[in-house]
Amino acid sequence: MVPRKRADARRNEETLLEAAAAAFVASGVNVPVREIAAQAGVGVGTIYRHFPTRADLVVAVYRHQIEACAEAGPALLAGGGTAHQALAAWIDMFVDFLVTKHGLAEALQSDDATFQTLHGYFLERLLPVCERLMEAAREAGEVREDVSAYEVMRGVGNLCAGAGDSRYDARRLVGVLVGGLRVSA
């Protein structure tokens, strides 16, 4: 049994993961650890104590972002808006996740065994969330019946692939996709 971390240790780890994610987006996964430590307001030793290798840090950042996106789905559905609004807000978070993930793409596509299970974890955690949001929107008569959650996630992912090009607005095109899910009046 793994002991639960103290609240301050969980907050420190959360701060480290957020700082690392921002640094990865800004400078890539090979950003010096001292820059991540400075951004998090901790010493380099603190990072190595939590994440002994860079691969451990990359995996932890990726998993942290997946979990935040997974936990947001049910909260958005319970938030009081329409199911379509919850779906659109979640897709907006998913876009943020995918756009920030582009900084991790190089590491995630490497042959390092540490990264092998991440794509499966991504689908295992996020596909059911998207399916539930789509199901709620379908039940409310707000979105088309003929589009699957997997197709939506795949479509959003493909639209986000060009996010690094300043001439391309992935978020705008994802908005077109989300609008196209609506049932015609």
pLDDT values of the chain reduced to their tens digit, one per residue, 185 residues:
656 667 777 788 888 999 998 888 788 788 999 999 999 998 999 899 989 998 889 889 989 999 999 999 999 999 989 999 999 999 999 998 887 665 565 555 566 666 667 878 889 999 999 999 999 999 999 999 999 999 999 999 899 887 778 898 888 999 999 999 998 75
Give the pair of three-digit tokens for residue 39.
Answer: 């951004």
CB 90 within 8 A of CB 76: yes
CA pair distance 12, 45, nearest whole angstrom: 13
Q: Is residue 59 within 8 Å of residue 114, measured between CB atoms?
A: yes
User: Which DSSP state fits 154?
Assistant: H
Helices (H), 3-140: 7-27, 33-40, 44-50, 54-78, 83-101, 105-108, 118-139
